[in-house]
Amino acid sequence: MDVDTAWLRARKKELHISDKDISAAINRERSTGNRIVTGERKIEWDEIHAMAKVFEVSEPEMALRAGYDPNSETMRSGPKRDAVRRIDDMGDNEVTRLVIPMLVHIADLSKKPDPDDEPEEADGPTEHEGAILRSVR
Please state, in angstroms and rounded to a whole number, the distance separating the CA atoms of residues 37 and 22. Answer: 9
pLDDT digits (tens, 9 = 90+) for 67-91: 887 666 655 555 444 554 555 555 5
CB 48 within 8 A of CB 66: yes
CATH number of 5-77: 1.10.260
Where in the chain are the domains?
5-77, 90-136
pLDDT digits (tens, 9 = 90+) for 7-66: 999 999 999 999 999 999 999 998 999 999 999 999 988 898 899 999 999 888 888 889
Determine if the pTM surpasses 0.75: no
Please state, in angstroms and rounded to a whole number, the distance separating the CA atoms of residues 49 and 95. Answer: 18
